[in-house]
Chain A
Amino acid sequence: MTWNIDTIVISLLLGVLMIVVGSKVSKNAVEGVPGRFQNFVEMILEFVQTQVKDSFPGHNPLIAPMALTIFVWVWLMNFMDLIPVDLLPVIAGWFGIHYLKVVPTTDLNTPMAMALMVFALTLFYNVKVKGLAGYLKMFLFHPFGKFAMPANIVMTAIEEVAKPLSLGLRLFGNMFAGELVFLLIALLGGAAALGAGLLIWFPLQVVLDLGWLLFHILVITLQAFIFMVLTIVYLGMAHTSDH
């Protein structure tokens, strides 16, 4: 029983931030001409809605809020990556906390938790839409037809299990690698310590850090977007009776 309290606390804080800001916006929302921030939030909502409309067949009131949650929450958690790597751990150190993982998505538990939730929902909707018999039939007769049943079972099982695994591990891998590169860049200046070497290493660190930051803005958004779209697609596949 290991509780990764840093992960839980930070992700919950970000979730609360999201809820507070969101509820404030929707409380002050006007039907007429929207203000700047309301417009921004509506833009995100519309973006998510478009994604859902494009890649989800039929109608399910759960999908769109779920996609929105994933997009915004994952983005916020990824965003923690852009805060200078040592800043929050040092501040936490002043309060007696000597180990702090700032980015919840670099803790395998967070991406896997979300992926497993998505997986559980796909199972639920698979059974609900196709029926238990229909879902099991898919294991038997897909993808090679009825003459290769054992192979079909193995193939479909791998396919189904690979979905949540790839979903969670992709996010985790990207964020973990990104964080690692930030750490390495941070080590660059530290390795030189004080001395003449600092004249070379320090500017290099700044430039590399800036470059990776700019690149990483793209990565965190892209990863949040991919997680959201794949969730929609997987749930969409669960809703179509034959694929």
Chain B
Amino acid sequence: MNITVTLFAQMIAFGLLIWFVNKVMWGPLSALMEARQKRIADGLSAAEKGKHEQELAEKRAIEVIKEAKDQAQEIVAHGQKRAAEIVDEAKETARAEGDRIIAAANAEIEREVTQAKEALRAQVAALAVAGAEKVLKREIDAKAHEDLLKDLAAQI
């Protein structure tokens, strides 16, 4: 166990070995491990971000649903109001129509009564003339007494 020239050989071998280890083992493997570490870190942060985004989306979804509900309620309320309005309008129209029909019927009745009166008047005049003919037992010149007869009929 003496120090010999082997010492220098071993020193050189040691130096070379360090160089080789750095080149083929340490360099590539540690770069790889670093890359993996970075990837894992990225993945974790992405997961964190995803979770956060999901939370936000959930919150937004709740908001949207609430808004939709509000809107639906509004629409329903509006519809109900409109329906009541339509019913009211219909009632109003119906009443107006009814009034109009009644008025028309009344007018018709009035007209027919007048007509009947007219007809009666004419018949009375004819009867009166016939009666007068029979009383006078003579022909009456209808032409000559037309004014008189008309006057009579108007008085009835």
Residues of chain A whose beta carbon lies under 8 Å from any beta carbon of chain B: 1-4, 7-8, 11-12, 15, 18-19, 22-23, 25-27, 29, 31-32, 41-42, 45-46, 49, 61-62, 64-66, 68-69, 72-73, 104, 106-110, 112-114, 116-117, 176
Contact = CB atoms under 8 A, between A and B. Distances in A.
A3 B4 contact: yes
Contacts of B2: 2, 108
Contact of A2 (B5, B25, B30, B32): B5
Given A42-B33, A113-B7, A22 B17 contact: no
B59 to A, nearest CB: 35
Contact of A117 (B14, B26, B27, B33): B14
B3 A108 contact: yes
Given A3-B4, A19-B17, A8 B11 contact: no
Interface residues of B, number: 32
Contacts of A26: 24-25, 28-29, 32
A1 B21 contact: no
A167 to B, nearest CB: 13
B24 A49 contact: no
B7 to A, nearest CB: 4
B48 to A, nearest CB: 21
Interface of B: 1-11, 13-18, 20-22, 24-30, 32-33, 35-36, 39
Secondary structure at the A interface, as helix, strand, loop or mixed, is helix
Given A2-B4, A46-B33, A19 B13 contact: no
B26 A12 contact: no
A3 B9 contact: yes
Contact of A69 (B1, B8, B21, B29): B21
A73 B14 CA distance: 9
Contacts of A64: 26, 30
Contacts of A68: 21, 25-26
A116 B7 contact: yes
Nearest to A33: B36
A66 B16 CA distance: 11
Contacts of A176: 1
Contact of B21 (A8, A19, A31, A109): A19
Contacts of A18: 17, 21
A66 B18 CA distance: 5
Contacts of A116: 7, 11
A83 B1 CA distance: 21
A61 B5 CA distance: 30
A19 B22 CA distance: 10
25 contacts: A2-B6, A11-B13, A15-B17, A19-B21, A19-B24, A19-B25, A22-B29, A26-B32, A31-B35, A42-B29, A64-B30, A65-B21, A68-B26, A72-B21, A73-B14, A73-B17, A109-B4, A109-B6, A109-B10, A112-B3, A113-B11, A114-B14, A116-B7, A116-B11, A117-B15
A31 B42 CA distance: 14
Contacts of A23: 24-25
B137 to A, nearest CB: 144
B29 A29 contact: yes
B10 A11 contact: yes
B38 to A, nearest CB: 10
Contacts of B35: 31
Contact of B9 (A8, A22, A32): A8
